[in-house]
Amino acid sequence: MKLIRKGREKKKVRQWKFGSFDIETKGLNTSNFLFGVCAWNEKNKSGDLVIKKKVFYSKEEMVNFMLSRKFKQYHWWGHNAGGFDMISLFGNYLLDENFNVIFNGSRFIVAEYVRDGYKIYFHDSLNIFPVKLEQLGKDLFHYKGETPDKFKVSRDDEKLIRDNINSGKWTIKDVMNIYGIKAESVARILEVGELGTTITQEDINYCIRDAEIVLKAINSFADFLMDRWQVSMRSTIASISQNVFLTKYINEDLKVSGYDKFFRNSYYGGRTELFDMKGEWLTNVYYYDFNSLYPSVMHDFWYPDPENLKYLSFSNESYIFEYEGTSFVDVYIPEDIKIPPLPFKWKGKLIFPTGHIRGWYNHNELRMAVKYGAKIEKVHKTVYSTRNINPFKNFIEDLYNMRLKFKAEGNKTGNLYTKLIMNSLYGKFGQKIVYSKMGWIDEPPEIPKHLKDKGYEWTFESIGKHDFGTWKLIDSKGQVLEEDAYRSILSFSSYITSWARIKLFEKMMEVIERGYNVFYCDTDSIITDCPELENSKELGKLKLEGVGDFRGYAPKVYEWKEKGEDKIKIKLKGVRNPDEIKNEYVERRIIKPKEALRRHEEAGKGEFKKKIVTYVDTKRFWNGNRGQPWNVDTLILEEEKEKWIKQRIKEYYQELKKHRQVYIYYDESDERYKRTKSMVNSDYLVQLFGHEPTKEELRDYFEWEFDQINNS
């Protein structure tokens, strides 16, 4: 039984050791430092808190200032700090022995700088406010200035622009899209040759404003957290949200059964799917969006109590219909269901198929599936709870009511803060920990106390050909150790996502029952031809986002034209601000620290990256523009066929290599010696084809052979 402690309220003392920083460079290359700005909190002689600012024209001077003892225990914040500003100041900071850097996958979380007995921390404000700085400024009523075009292009960029336009490779529109600069700036580059590098007071004020926005956001959010819940700032919004919940919205420590781990198997993501009419314009359709879908299901529904979980190695359907929990089941989804109810993981994708599926599913979702035609064929194992709880009701109610109040007052800042906290909790309960740490090959870390004497050891994986890399903790089988985070409660996260999928699915079924069509869905939204489905501002209800024309290509790949507007909005996963539908996009990016080590490149160096878009949708089976769900039985059979064909081809060549021998014989008719090969079992194919078969011919033959065996 795991114990998650109730959070302790902090003394109501304002956190104030915060600073922010912003760098301006010539073009998207962190080495082209022009100037930088620091803004920080400081107490004056009277003990009052004031904000100080300083401009630096020397990178070295700025670094020395920020790392000085004056800022002992300070927390420096920058918007995209780990991906840009820190690289500009420190180069590849991963190689700096004074930095201890924590990543979550590829996402920078925090860097701890240790020197001469004191520490300074660097954070990325994007982990708290995952919006553009321009939007953050609007929400704070502290508006961001417009980035000068001369900061967006380097001298090399200006030459490249001239050469590519003059050669006809790029158009002026291409340059505007790639670099984000105005037409008049492109014209100046062509006429004058450059945009210049003269730094004006207006430029300095622009940079100061960026730093002010970040510091103001951090200061006000820290005060917001302390005033309402007596909790302090952390590096990510998810950890802040969980801290608020555990401190103020549970009455005692949470006990979590060891059987909670089984809910990892039934933890699926949101549903994103294009259902029909791929690549066709659909006119006069309706775009609906749920108001805070995940918070709404946290508020409205019951959850299995993680303390009172029971495990059954032999089970039956009655537990699914009488208790909340999760079961390992065989389920049949009829082939005539156009929009199947249950998720299924297939080759790294989440699909919703028909046919016979096997997997772990939560009981709420299984009951829903049966309601719409699915049949539970066998229940293998079950984890169920003898008691249901709703731990999130007060948490969501308080935050939602706060948000309504802030909206009514026109308080965009409060609205942003409550929205972020409310929406960021559920995923934290599903967090995993991979025991890894970045460092040098000759400096293995200490094994955590609770894992000592369990046979674990560190193994080192270098990044590129460096002595720097990642230390990973492995077990006796050489597997990297992954554990659920100590504060994880998988039944919570798994059930929240189940309830959200159920709510989305039942709304789609309502559309179909009313005689209309669902064309597309994305986690908490539906595009349909059904008018007046619902339009409400209430928590968990649908609101009408727009009416217009829609053309879908794949999940998260579509075009939308709002009624009465000329502009077409394009959504392309992985492509920033696409201007039109095409197969290839060119984007500018900088090389991040980890990637730089792998490629033996300079961190922060700008480069062009081609993004190829295929518009292929593999989540459903498509016959032209008409879509239908995959059938799992067919998918599994096709996978077995592919494995069988590969194995038969492999065996064919192995037999030839092993048994066929070359020998010399005397041909009396020609009165000379000749070379020949001995016959082996596989030579029946040579006789069949009249020649040595190619790989393609072998593949076609063995595919036919497989079909004959399975159809007999």
466-to-95, 442, 460, 600, 697 alpha-carbon distances in Å: 10, 12, 11, 9, 46
In contact, 414 and 430? CB cutoff 8 Å? no
The closest of 655, 644, 647, 652 to 694, measured between CA atoms, is: 652
Distance of alpha carbon 416 from alpha carbon 238, whole angstroms: 14
Query: What's the confidence (pLDDT) of residue 677?
Result: 56
DSSP 567: P
Spatial CB neighbours of 681, under 8 Å, sequence gap ≥ 6? 655, 659
| pLDDT given at position 673 | 61
3-state DSSP of 389-447: ECCCHHHHHHHHHHHHHHHHHCCHHHHHHHHHHHHCCHHHHHCEEECEEEEECCCCCCC
**Residues 570, 558: Cα–Cα separation, whole Å:** 6
Token readout for 669 is: 């008719």
How remote is the C-alpha of 541 from its chain's centroid?
26
Q: What is the C-alpha to C-alpha distance for residues 684 and 380, in angstroms, rounded to an integer?
A: 46
Whole-number Å distance between alpha carbons of 82 and 510:
46
Q: What is the pLDDT of residue 40?
A: 98
- On whether the CB atoms of residues 599 and 464 are closer than 8 A, the answer is yes
DSSP secondary structure of 337-365:
-SS-S--EEETTEEE--BEEEEEEEEHHH
Q: What number of H helices and E strands is found in the chain? A: 18, 35
Give 150-175 as a 3 state SS string: HHCCCHHHHHHHHHHHHCCCCCHHHH
Q: How far is CA 259 from the centre of its chain?
A: 27
Question: Contacts from 561-567 at CB under 8 Å and sequence distance 24+?
Answer: 563/284
Is the C-alpha dihedral spanning 237, 238, 239, 242 positive or negative? positive
Predicted local distance difference test score (pLDDT) of residue 689: 80
Mark the ranges of the chain whose per-residue pLDDT is less than 50: none
How far apart (Å, rounded) are the C-alpha atoms in residues 635 and 345?
12
Q: Residue 38 corresponds to which tokens in the numbers above? A: 């620091």
Centroid of chain to Cα 462: 25
Q: Which amino acid is at 396?
A: I
- Distances from the Cα of 697 to the Cα of 90, 650, 653, 688, 709, angstroms: 58, 14, 13, 11, 18
* The amino acid at 243: N
Q: What are the two backbone dihedrals, phi and then psi, of residue 530, each rounded to the nearest 5 degrees?
A: -90, 115
Give the per-residue pLDDT at 631: 97
Q: Which of 17, 45, 63 is nearest to 232 (CA)?
A: 17
Cβ contacts of residue 280 below 8 Å, gap of 6+? 551, 625
Output the pLDDT for position 670.
Answer: 72
What pLDDT score does 454 carry?
82
Distance CA(298)–CA(402), nearest Å, equals: 17
Task: Measure Cα distances from 628 to 278, 331, 371, 526, 622 in Å.
Answer: 11, 19, 21, 18, 7
Quote the CA–CA distance of 590 and 599 in Å, as a whole number: 13
Asked whether 584 and 613 are in contact (CB, 8 A), the reply is yes
Whole-number pLDDT of residue 527: 98
Give the whole-angstrom CA distance, residue 41 versus residue 43.
Answer: 7
SS3 242: helix
Tokens matching residue 610: 């081609």
Write the CB contacts of 400 (distance below 8 Å, at least 6 apart in sequence). Answer: 292, 295, 299, 418, 422, 539
DSSP 8-class letter at 105: T
Torsion of the alpha carbons at 9, 10, 11 and 15, rounded to the nearest 10: -150
Residue 316 Cα distances to 260, 371, 376, angstroms: 20, 18, 10
User: Could you give the CA distance from residue 701 to residue 699 in angstroms, rounded to a whole number?
Assistant: 5
SS3 547: strand
> What per-residue confidence (pLDDT) applies to 493?
98
Supply 241's token pair: 């949200």
User: Which residue, chain included where needed, has tokens 């959010």?
Assistant: 221
CA–chain centroid gap for 170, Å, is: 32
Pairing mode, if any, of strands 118-124 and 75-78?
A: parallel
Tell me, what's the pLDDT at 559?
Answer: 97
- Say if CB 319 and CB 366 are below 8 A apart: no
Cβ neighbourhood burial of 589 (10 Å; 0-12, 13-18, 19+): middle
What pLDDT score does 698 carry?
A: 87
HSE-CB for 636 with a 13 A CA cutoff: 11
Q: Are the CB atoms for 161 and 186 separated by under 8 Å?
A: yes
Name the packing angle between helices 412-423 and 393-409 (round to 10°). 160
Strand 621-623 versus strand 606-612 pairing type? unpaired
From its phi and psi, is residue 428 left (phi > 0), alpha (psi between -120 and 50) or beta? alpha
Contacts of 291 (CB under 8 A, 6+ apart): 536, 537, 538, 539, 540, 541, 542, 543
Q: Which domains are present in the chain?
A: 4-147+199-235 (3.30.420.10), 259-390+489-572 (3.90.1600.10), 432-484 (no CATH), 631-711 (no CATH)
Phi and psi of 497, rounded to 5°? -70, -35
Nearest to residue 305, comparing CAs of 256, 271, 272, 258? 256
CA–CA dist 228, 206 (Å, integer): 33
pTM score, whole prediction: 0.90
